Chains A and B, each alone.
Chain A
Amino acid sequence: MQTKRTVFPNKALPYFLLLPQLAVTGIFFLWPAWQAIWFSFLREDAFGFKSTFVWLENYARLFNSASYINSISITFTFAFAVAFLSMAVALLFAVNVNSMIRSRNAYTTLLVWPYAVAPAVAGILWWFLFNPSIGILPYLLSMAEIRWNHRTSQADAMTLVVIAASWKQISYNFLFFLAGLQAIPNSLIEAAAIDGAGPFKRFRTIVFPLLSPTTFFLLVVNVVYAMFDTFGIIHATTEGGPAGGTNIMVYKVYADGVIGLNLGSSSAQSVVLMCVVIFLTVIQFRYIERRVQY
């Protein structure tokens, strides 16, 4: 652990300085997390009078239940669809903006604001746009003989939440891709141009490979975003439906625990999610260490 060569000699002061942060961390983070782990091994009777220690039964039930397996697969579909869509669109924006000189800042300003829109608000905006009775997009789709109804079709509902979640994340990905593009030395691009490589070939053979650290970093960040920060989008629009079609894991923890009051199962799901976050955080930090060396 790094510190300064010269430090202050006070013995008690550092503990006072750390106290607020550690108190909040202990009371509202570590203790509840421990409780979640503990509850996940318990089973309450129907009236909540007593609970018995059941070892891994909650986990066994969880991984044997069709709805949880369904939720896992939906979460993966959702997370990778959001990551792919928002990164692809953001890269397209970033490459085009990067080739501009005078208008670069104006375009950047026009693209950063969706980041500020709350997930729930983003969900409602797209929900309105796709509203089956008065929305514009279903009207346009009906001209192409496509019937849109996210209240009955699982595919439509998934498309809706993927678009809303990706829309909000475009600004973030755009800013990081733009920074990544600007870090690529111009001399490489110029050398390739002199050798006769056109803009598309330069992008494919030079720019995109050199962007790969940024792309990988964003992939992890986007998967984390889609898995954990999109609760508002799901809750404000589809509420996990229709028939569990958009019931991502984070939403299911809430639905089973807060609405269904199934403490043991919800806690077991919490612990599974904790493992996922820990796994993703480790990947993110290992990668960042490498970037520093690079």
Chain B
Amino acid sequence: MVENRPFLTFLSHLVLILGLLVVFLPVYIALIASTRGPTEFLSGIVPLLPGDHTIANYRAMLQSGLSTSGAPPLFPMMMNSLIMALAIAIGKIVISIISAYAIVYFRFPFRALAFWAIFVTLMLPVEVRIIPTFEVVANLSMLNSYAGLTIPLIASATATFLFRQFFLTVPEELIEAARVDGAGPIKFFWDILLPLSRTNIAALFVILFIYGWNQYLWPLLITTDTRYYTVVMGIKRMAAYADAEPLWNLVMAAVMLAAIPPVIVIIFMQRLFIKGLVETEK
């Protein structure tokens, strides 16, 4: 700060605090609603202070769910989301790091072609090729399976680029020294490159975990069996149901449960998250 203007500093804090209140408002209201009893939404508007049904609501959602809405209890859905998020994050990192390794540390015919084939995936998000992708997955009989939920989303141009950029900054001397010492490609990758990439892997993991957890369209398309529902798509069914009958306390408990895991990941791994966010955009 180049000058001291107490009034201006005060004004800045005021703007920030008011802004934060607006940002927090929807989550606060949802949290309050999730602590209330079932009859409290019948008349008037949502209360502003917590009630005493917190434990009952969350337990009901985790164990039995809204049976009438056709969605299973939340606990298995959250487990599905966790499996999907972990499988996508780990899978993307593994196949991207080895393909980046191949592209940077080897010379072979069709190298540029392979690179461009991976690059093109950036331009083909699921949203623009919904039906043909669904058909491919259906033909491979991967509907309603964890493989179907994760494998089609596992190719990643951004992760491959990130690792490629990073490998290009790794000093040439390392590979020369490793080769002089007689290390083969696998040993060099495992003992030298992988330990060097640790921070990049961790940062990428945070971003990809959130990406995987928050998937919506894909699970919606390929799961019809409630055993494979993920929590983010599951709550939509409950919300549609709650609009007809006032079960908002239970729906909001489900919403909080769907939102909390990725939020916790971001808050506790903030530094890695920011690094991952900035680097994947380069």
Contact = CB atoms under 8 A, between A and B. Distances in A.
Task: Describe B's contact surface by its main secondary structure.
Answer: helix
B46 A135 contact: yes
Given A25-B118, A116-B259, A118-B232, A273 B128 contact: yes
Contacts of B133: 28, 32
Contacts of B27: 125
A136 B263 contact: no
Interface stretch (B17-25, B52-60, B63-71, B197-205): B17-25
A236 B239 contact: yes
Contact of B172 (A4, A112, A167): A4
A106 to B, nearest CB: 10
B254 to A, nearest CB: 9
Given A100-B12, A113-B263, A253-B130, A28 B136 contact: yes
A116 B265 contact: yes
A96 B15 CA distance: 8
B22 to A, nearest CB: 9
B191 interface: no
A281 B106 contact: no
B245 to A, nearest CB: 12
Contact of B232 (A4, A18, A120, A199): A120
B23 A111 contact: yes
Contact of A221 (B101, B129, B137, B281): B281
Nearest to A28: B152
A32 B136 contact: yes
Interface string A103-126: 100011111111111111110111
B124 to A, nearest CB: 5
Nearest to B236: A236
Interface string B271-282: 001100110011
B191 to A, nearest CB: 14
A15 B110 CA distance: 10
Contacts of A139: 45
Interface in B1-58: 1-3, 5, 8-9, 12-13, 15-16, 19-20, 23, 25-27, 29-30, 33, 41, 44-46, 48
Contacts of B2: 186, 189-190, 193
Contacts of B80: none
Interface in B206-265: 210, 213-214, 216-217, 220-221, 232-233, 235-236, 239, 246, 248, 251-252, 255, 258-259, 262-263, 265
B196 interface: no
Contacts of A5: 172
A258 to B, nearest CB: 6
A278 interface: yes
A42 interface: no
A13 interface: yes
A17 B101 contact: yes
Contact of A129 (B25, B118, B172, B258): B25
A78 interface: no
Interface residues of B, number: 104
Q: Quick one: which of B13, B29, B132, B265 has the most chain A CB within 10 A?
A: B132
Given A11-B108, A266-B131, A18 B16 contact: no
Contact of A99 (B1, B132, B259): B1
Contacts of A66: none
A217 to B, nearest CB: 8
Contacts of A266: 130-131
Contacts of B115: 1
A8 B262 contact: no
Nearest to A2: B168
A14 B108 contact: yes
Contacts of A190: 2
Given A92-B19, A128-B26, A231 B255 contact: no
B123 A4 contact: no
12 contacts: A3-B106, A3-B111, A17-B102, A27-B152, A113-B266, A116-B259, A116-B263, A125-B29, A235-B216, A254-B127, A274-B129, A277-B125
Given A21-B95, A33-B132, 20 more contacts: A1-B111, A10-B106, A14-B106, A15-B102, A18-B103, A22-B117, A24-B154, A28-B155, A103-B13, A107-B20, A118-B214, A128-B33, A129-B25, A189-B2, A232-B232, A235-B216, A236-B235, A257-B131, A263-B131, A266-B130
Q: 9 tightest A-B contacts by CB?
A: A32-B132, A35-B132, A118-B214, A17-B102, A116-B262, A14-B106, A232-B216, A14-B102, A125-B26
